[in-house]
Copies of this chain bind each other. A is one copy, B any other.
Amino acid sequence: MSVPRLTPVSYMVLGLIENAGEATPYQLKAFAAQSVGNFWSIQHAQLYTESERLAKAGLLDEHREEGGRRRRTYALTEAGRAALAEWRAAPATELGELRSLGLLQLFFGAEKGPLARAQLESHGRKLAEYEQLHAAAADWLPEGQRLALEAGIAHEREWLRFWRAVGDNQS
Contact = CB atoms under 8 A, between A and B. Distances in A.
A12 interface: yes
A101 interface: yes
B117 A91 contact: yes
B84 A94 contact: no
A127 to B, nearest CB: 10
Given A97-B39, A110-B88, A154-B161, A103 B142 contact: no
Interface magnitude class on chain A: 35 or more
Copies in the complex: 2
B99 A99 contact: yes
A13 to B, nearest CB: 11
A78 interface: no
Given A39-B100, A99-B96, A105 B118 contact: no
A108 B15 contact: yes
A26 interface: no
Contacts of A152: 98
